[in-house]
Structure 1
């Protein structure tokens, strides 16, 4: 799942740097993810994975790292399948 999240970042401009240079557990906000970028990311995730993120996952913590995003998506994508 983390590779799919990285691919999503690579296709979009959520970060001002190359996502391949960011560790899985690195803070994406420290890497330049803005609140606007996190909203764009949320919408891209919903479209890409054909899911709707529940309100409980719409937090800064969920989008704080590639690892956190992948973990949240793993649970949702497996339920949707």
Structure 2
């Protein structure tokens, strides 16, 4: 399960970096980095949500699309793992 989680985190990081690059935002992103603090706008967040759905081939339920779930790579990773199946524990 650990390898799967690391893979999800790496994929989320790649998507976040790609959205930041498209929005001309230069920042060093870590799993705990707050995306709003880095400078991602609300439109950037929508773009990020759509790219996350495409990357993981899923449609996020409306209840999962919250500012809390898109705060950082870590919170998005947790949300995606919950959508993909039962989490560890």
Q: TM over 0.5: same fold?
A: yes
Offset at residue 62 of structure 1 (A): 0.7
1: distance between equivalents of 2:24 and 2:66?
18
Structure 1 residue ranges without an equivalent (≥5): none
| CA RMSD after TM alignment | 1.7
User: Which one has the bigger helix percentage?
Assistant: 2
TM-score by length of 2: 0.75
TM-score by length of 1: 0.82
Instruction: Give the number of aligned pairs.
Output: 77
Q: Give the ranges of 4+ consecutive aligned residues of structure 1 lying more than 4 Å apart after TM superposition.
A: none
Structure 2 residue ranges without an equivalent (≥5): 1-7
The structure that has the greater radius of gyration is 2
